[in-house]
Amino acid sequence: MKNNTLRSYKGITPTIGNNSYVDESAVLIGDIVIGVDASVWPLVAGRGDVNKIRIGDRTNIQDGTILHVTRRSNHQPDGFPLIIGDDVTVGHQCMLHGCTLGNRILVGMGAIIMDGTVVEDDVFIGAGTVVPPNKVLRSGYLYVGNPMKEARLLKDKELEFLKQSADNYVVLKNEYLEECVNES
């Protein structure tokens, strides 16, 4: 990993969990902690400068995604950190801003999730969906649209796929890590 990938801010440098992969074109700044077996793909930008970012185990953040937070203020004493659970797949070019995502979630390509939103476990968010601030997305549902709407309950196969998607990225991440070792 090149030095420009992980940047300190106010003396805090991102922490990467065991057996995780961060592409050298990604930029992660400040108070960011990434779990075990996670992956951060090309051109991801994460700024944990005015609040913290936490990314769970086996979670993958795909190409071009922006990860950001909201600062603490008199109006919002804790601000809005960005918290992402375990086994989450975040598709290409998403924007996650000061929200909380549970476990086993798929965020479709180009989705935007705004400040204060809480996404419970086992949720699909369709590609291009825009989730306004301070929403709660209930477990077991598909959400789509701009602004987002609860579309329907997830089918059993879709629920199974949430974990499988994360597992697929653990395999791919391992291949990338092996390739990096072989290049050394």
pLDDT reported for residue 62: 98
Length of the chain in residues, anyone?
184
Range 6-183 classified under CATH 1.10.10.10: no
- pTM of the complete model beyond 0.75: yes
The domain ranges of the chain are 6-183
For residue 180, the model assigns a pLDDT of 82
Q: Count the neighbouring beta carbons within 10 Å of the beta carbon of residue 40.
A: 29
Phi and psi, residue 22, nearest 5°: -125, 120
| Preceding amide of 77 cis, omega within 30 | no
- Residue 1: what pLDDT? 43
Q: What is the pLDDT of residues 154-178, one digit of tens each?
A: 999 999 999 999 999 999 999 999 9
> pLDDT tens digits, residue range 109-124?
999 999 999 999 999 9
